[in-house]
């Protein structure tokens, strides 16, 4: 997988509270601790490439922690559904293998955890993990890739691609069946180019997506679904990239420019009218826990904020760290070579 190029310019961050400062509030004092190796994820460790063995996404769900990994450029997979149970301090037995070359993201939808099949080996569109730990692959659309899922009201959306088209599918029956909702051809004019939707974000009661051409980069603006129809929206990718992992935080839609495990990313925020950089430093991953957003900086710093303006450094992650999550108040990072680390002191 190759993400579109990033533009060399940086928007003024003043309107979005760009900051790198540390909080002086004694109540937010940084925890004192260190990272310890929890173990090596048995499914990721079996992957044949360094990218495939990287724990590129962590996702708390119920009492367990789930993992995204794989390498769909090298066509690895399938991906073993093997969660970690903090109460037992152990990886559980595999619930089975999702028929995809990589899982790079998760979405909680309708009390279930959905894992889009980034590149199905045969026919899976996404895996669904139940609250009881059960899971199944679902094959509900004709797609080339499914990169993300989102829920707006009672409607559920999948986004990705089919051939040269970037495609959004919509379900009105809880995800049992999906229909085409909107599609776009590449706009670059480059021969053999193709378009994809890499992310679906909900903000202000609307669904936001932006098509990205493989060779040409982001298309000029986003598309917005208001519950009844689609309209044109502002540019959500002013710094280039593809867009990844939008989450709601501090009244904004916060997201990355690049996907999990694919190198340094910029952190963006969208306030409903304009998107811009939040901080000047690059990140690998973000996670929201309660009233705080945590960011894993490329230089290894673990930063957190309550308002996207004031940031404090709370830890230094081990070399090779690429993903971050807070589970039951405990900070975890996923790293290269299938390694999972835990911070020894609670952070929430």
| Mean of all residue pLDDT scores within the chain | 91
* pLDDT at 6 > cutoff 80: no
* pLDDT at 13 > cutoff 80: no
| Over residues 317-323, mean pLDDT | 96
Q: How confident is the model at residue 48 (pLDDT cuts 50, 70, 90)?
A: very high
| Over residues 164-183, mean pLDDT | 97
Rounded Cα–Cα distance for residues 54 and 279 (Å): 25
Which region holds residue 307: left if phi is over 0, alpha if psi is between -120 and 50, else beta? alpha
Report the candidate in 120, 128, 105, 155 with the shortest Cα–Cα distance to residue 285: 105
pLDDT at 22: 42
Residues in the chain, total: 348
Torsion of CA 299, 305, 311, 317, to 10 degrees: -30
Residue 59 has phi, psi (to 5 degrees) of: -145, 110
pLDDT at 30: 67
Q: 180 preceded by cis ω (within 30°)?
A: no
* pLDDT at 29 > cutoff 80: no
Q: How confident is the model at residue 1 (pLDDT cuts 50, 70, 90)?
A: very low
CA distances from 71 to 47, 78, 235 (A): 8, 10, 29
* pTM of this structure: 0.91
Query: Are 242 and 4 contacting, i.e. CB atoms less than 8 angstroms apart?
Result: yes
- CATH code for the structural domain at 14-343: 2.130.10.10
Rounded Cα–Cα distance for residues 76 and 182 (Å): 30
Q: Mean pLDDT lowest for which of 20-34, 213-227, 239-253, 277-291?
A: 20-34
Spans of all domains in the chain: 14-343
pLDDT at 27: 39
Burial of 97 (0-12, 13-18, 19+ CB in 10 A): middle
| Over residues 308-314, mean pLDDT | 97
Cα torsion angle, 47, 53, 57, 60, sign: positive
- pLDDT tens across 225-284, in order? 999 999 999 999 999 999 999 999 999 999 999 977 677 999 999 999 999 999 999 999
């Amino acid at each position: 997988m190759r993400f579109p190029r990033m533009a060399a310019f940086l928007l003024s961050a003043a309107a979005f509270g760009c900051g790198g400062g540390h909080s002086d509030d004694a109540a937010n004092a940084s925890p004192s601790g260190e990272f310890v190796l929890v173990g090596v994820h048995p499914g990721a460790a079996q992957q044949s490439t360094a990218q495939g063995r990287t724990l590129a996404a962590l996702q708390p769900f119920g009492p367990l922690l789930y993992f995204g990994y794989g390498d769909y450029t090298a066509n690895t997979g399938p991906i073993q559904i093997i969660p970690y149970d903090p109460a037992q301090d152990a990886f559980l037995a595999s619930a089975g293998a999702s028929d995809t070359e990589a899982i790079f993201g998760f979405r909680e939808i309708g009390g279930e955890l959905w894992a889009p099949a980034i590149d199905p080996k045969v026919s899976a569109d996404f895996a669904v993990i139940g609250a009881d730990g059960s899971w199944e692959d679902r094959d509900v659309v004709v797609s080339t890739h499914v990169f993300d899922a989102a829920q707006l009201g009672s409607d559920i959306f999948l986004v990705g691609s089919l051939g040269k088209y970037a495609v959004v599918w919509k379900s009105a029956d809880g995800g049992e069946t999906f229909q085409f909702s909107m599609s776009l051809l590449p706009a670059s004019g480059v021969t053999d180019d193709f378009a994809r939707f890499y992310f679906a974000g909900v903000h202000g009661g609307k669904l936001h997506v932006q098509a990205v051409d493989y060779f040409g980069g982001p298309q000029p603006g986003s598309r917005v679904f208001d519950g009844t129809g689609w309209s044109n929206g502002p540019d959500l990718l002013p710094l280039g990239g593809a867009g990844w992992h939008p989450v709601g935080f501090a009244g904004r839609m916060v997201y990355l420019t690049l996907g999990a495990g694919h190198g340094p990313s910029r952190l963006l925020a969208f306030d409903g009218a304009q998107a811009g950089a939040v901080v000047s430093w690059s990140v690998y991953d973000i996670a929201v826990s309660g009233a705080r957003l945590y960011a894993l900086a490329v230089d290894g710093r673990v930063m957190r904020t309550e308002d996207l303006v004031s940031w404090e450094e709370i830890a230094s992650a081990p070399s090779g760290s690429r993903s971050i999550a807070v589970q039951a108040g405990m900070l975890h990072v996923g790293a290269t070579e299938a390694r999972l680390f835990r911070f020894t002191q609670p952070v929430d």
